[in-house]
Structure 1
């Protein structure tokens, strides 16, 4: 029997691509998702495969999987501000209680576990670019604190289980990642700009648009995560594309791609929004021999074509999701 891999957040953006990756590598994949922000359409192509199984489950509740598990990849979490600002308690719970449950499962199964942290743990950084040794500039009481602190706790409890229970752990700090299967209405900048370009609307630009980000295409991100999982390195590793651009420049590139006039509507900067974001990926390069290979022009073209096709076939909705039922607990 093939080795089994448990992937939480399996119906989400990165999680669904990880399912594809491990299926291609010959593993049996067990996907888990409560579908708050994930979508079954991201993994529907896998349901016919004998080496894929899916469970609709919230990992903040007790989780038990029958049989051996070799690897666990914890990617269950809201990942965009529009989501975690609407479901702040669920965001905190999945990063804390959910991680606790999965570390317990890893301990029980003798499995290696990789947890998905984020560049958001650096907050609005005072160090540029951000290295793994930088401890961040985070507002614990601000609206984004629910996501930042959930991930910081995730890292802490993961290292505690490694040191105290000898659980085999890995930590990836994911910087801005984009590509097919993102939700067009999740509030992240690339799908938002593509949606506005497709609908011939003006681009929504927060502040003066001179804040920077570094965007990594999904295929490169997944390859880096896989290499980290298979490595012997237990401490956090930044995973992202170090090519830094302004948000205004991004709007211009997407406008050019869509043959759309780059007109903007300026809006106030959200509280706590980082002014600069760029990963130092020296560790990933030296330890994992990993570096992103997809150019932004290639990645944006693939992402734009995906959303254009989906909208033409009416397979995605631009309506916001109703999270009311998840705010009761």
Structure 2
């Protein structure tokens, strides 16, 4: 098996997703225009994106020893993602979500059952995957688990998905800090974007990349290099998982830029990730319409 270049630690879920014309009122039944059963979770979906873009990837997550956990594992493995770092917790239930996507409002509502806590202190395979990776990307459930290992496994570059609140988050030793604009404003009090990104750099991040929905994405490195990207046109069905796809594509783009497969360095990687995330919105779920590397390059050329 190919050694994973990118490891994604955090949440892996089983999702049920329905597309409706509008949200139902209380005690009302509406007919779905489409329904999908699949996989989700910030870390897991990011791993699928990176793998599809040609970067050997692994997922580290805690699931239950139940049928939902088996399906989460099988779906990731079918994408080629290394699942040897999944931790099955005896007696626990795998995280599951019910997602309603409204076509009229172009918004979504999510009901989630939280899965077991991720503890890597005795997970030898997960530790091995982390130590051998070029990048380790964490979400709100993966950050503390990976942080607890940093003294023992200091090597990989650390990327943080900060779209969801992470209690006690510290940015020292962070190679890439990737919040939504809303999350960045919560952390720094709603100052202007440039000032907020500079404050994250001052806290210890080597680079900051901020997603801002349909307005695109923006980046700043500690050396002062900036990046900005506007989403391409696409037939958007749902934005579910787009941020997670963005993060997986950003890691893939940075690795491709390092190896010469992608031009433009840091800015090229931000544009690459923005394009991948936008194209993924052509599907109802967060994974089905993620493009591969060749399709992404063609879209960038257009």
Q: With the length of structure 1 as denominator, give the TM-score of the two structures.
A: 0.38
Q: Pick the structure with more strand per residue.
A: 2
TM-score of the pair, normalised by structure 2 = 0.40
Q: Which has the higher helix share?
A: 1
